[in-house]
Amino acid sequence: MPIAIVTGGSGTIGSVICRVLAERGDHVLCADINEGAFAGAFADTPEELAASIEFAALDVTEPESWDAVCQRATSTGEPIGTLVNAAVSVKLGSIDRMDHGDWRSSFDVTLHGAALGIQTVGNHMAAQGQGAIVNIASVVAHSGAPMNAGYATAKAALLGLTRTAAARLGRKGVRVTAVSPGWVQSPAVDGLFKAQARGGRSLDEVRAAFVAAIPLQRLAEPEDIAQTVAFLSSDGAKYITGIELVVDGGLGVA
């Protein structure tokens, strides 16, 4: 049973990625800094599936923490097949007003954390001669996000990291790709809608306006993102590396 490590695995998208990878037969380490969130995220998971998903304490900004998770993974005697970098720090703020600490936090978790994971886990995969790393980016890496400057900029840098790592690690049998979600049904997007619901517009009107701009006429479900990750980390994508797969319902071409 191959090992899959999912950072930010207790989050809205991360938890569904954990479940989908476990359903395909992986032994999943839900690598997160918050064990309480893990308990809540998987409280209703069927017992037979929950047995394949374990919590692993991880501070993605600390090399020693990454080493500990890798040691735990390799102690099973199974190969590390997949790393998903889904951990993120979202600190709202425009570039002209953003707190410097919030800016640094966005990069420390979203970019630096992913880089440490690619280095640490990627070296284990290289020693095996195979493995797949999937970074969770965002469509705002392309469009920008005026009120979310740190997040959008860190995600754009994550795409550069994806290409750079793919060029290096591909020669060692390790594939590196990125998934860029559009608007996903989640508490974070609900918060965005609420922030936009002003000037006489209701929350329902704001949501309808966002959905109307999407050719597929709905928000993404976390499952849509998770299934894309499962594909990119499978043998079905064994000749794919260095690419970004946008999962936005057609928003980028509307």
Active-site residue numbers?
Answer: 151
Q: Which residue is it, tokens 């599936």?
A: 49
Q: Which tokens sit at 87? A: 């951990």
CA atoms of 88 and 164, how far apart (whole Å): 20
- Enumerate residues 6+ apart whose C-beta is below 8 A from 115: 161
Contacts (Cβ under 8 Å, ≥6 apart) of 31: 5, 6, 7, 8, 9, 56, 57, 58, 60, 69, 87
Beta-carbon contacts of 197 under 8 Å, excluding residues fewer than 6 positions away, are: 203, 205, 206
Strand partners, 133: 83, 176
Q: Tokens for 46, please give them.
A: 């069927």
Neighbours of 161 (CB within 10 A): 20
- List Cα–Cα distances, 138 to 25, 86, 171, in angstroms: 27, 11, 27
Distance CA 121, CA 80 (A): 8
Mutual angle of helices 113-128 and 63-74, in 10-degree steps? 30
Is residue 80 within 8 A of residue 5, CB to CB? The reply is yes
